[in-house]
Amino acid sequence: MPAQGSVSVGFLGFGVATVLLSIQIANFFPLATLLTTMSIFYAGLAQVISGALEWRKNNAFGATAFLSYGFFCLAFVSVAVMTHTGMAPAPSGSATAACLGLLGLVSATLFFGALRLEKIWRLFSALLTLSLVLLAFGHATDIAGIKPVAGFGGVVTGTLAICTGLVHSFKTVYSRRGLVPVPALQELAKSSMV
């Protein structure tokens, strides 16, 4: 597997599942079964595997990010399945807000680590933190309109995660020429000045 392979798969899994979840949150259309399976396999398991591979490469930042988001995704979908099947009561809005808020805090902390990485990582970390804070606020307050805005933010964040995964894939293919074949992504793929 190329050096960037685990990063690519982790971001692609996160991105696709985040876009699907955000479509559901924004009430564009229901995706219950598709969302559940994509969240378990493509988002949850793919990110956990990516995190384990990053751990083996002694990349504590990548391992922390992918393992945290992967296990969160698996836990979140488990709660949804348990609630839907009657195995457990639905969590309260405040409990969901607390969970999303804590993950937002983790994301905000990871943002500072991303300051030493490519621009696309920084942008992704900032958008993810903002989306999680909006989701937590929406669940805590139940103010109409917050969750759809957070859902739209999640679509943007998920799309950027997909782009980040593709940038890392392209970097392995085009590394000899330093080229990313999509001009808009070329600028974001440049290394930080640090």
In this model, does residue 105 exceed pLDDT 60?
Answer: yes
Residue 21 CB coordination number (10 Å): 23
Residue 12 within any structural domain of the chain: yes
CB 157 within 8 A of CB 18: yes
| Residue 55 pLDDT | 93
Residue 108 within any structural domain of the chain: yes
| Residue 192 pLDDT | 43
In this model, does residue 149 exceed pLDDT 80?
Answer: yes
| Residue 194 pLDDT | 32
Nearest one of 157, 156, 155, 135 to 147, comparing CA atoms: 135
Residue 193 within any structural domain of the chain: no
Q: Looking at the 3D structure of the chain, how many domains does it have?
A: 1
pLDDT band at 188 (very low <50, low <70, confident <90, very high): low
Residue 121 within any structural domain of the chain: yes
In this model, does residue 193 exceed pLDDT 80?
Answer: no
| Integer Cα distance of 21 and 131 in angstroms | 12
Nearest one of 54, 71, 72 to 9, comparing CA atoms: 54
**pLDDT tens for residues 69-96?**
999 989 988 888 898 889 999 999 899 9
| Residue 185 pLDDT | 59
Give residue 114's Cα distance to chain centre: 14
**pLDDT tens for residues 16-57?**
888 888 887 776 766 677 788 888 888 889 999 999 999 999
Residue 194 within any structural domain of the chain: no
Q: Which two tokens stand for residue 121?
A: 């990582």
Range of the domain at 154: 5-188
| Residue 173 pLDDT | 72
In this model, does residue 9 exceed pLDDT 60?
Answer: yes
CB 53 within 8 A of CB 163: no
Q: What contacts 68, CB < 8 A, 6 or more positions away?
A: 51, 103, 106
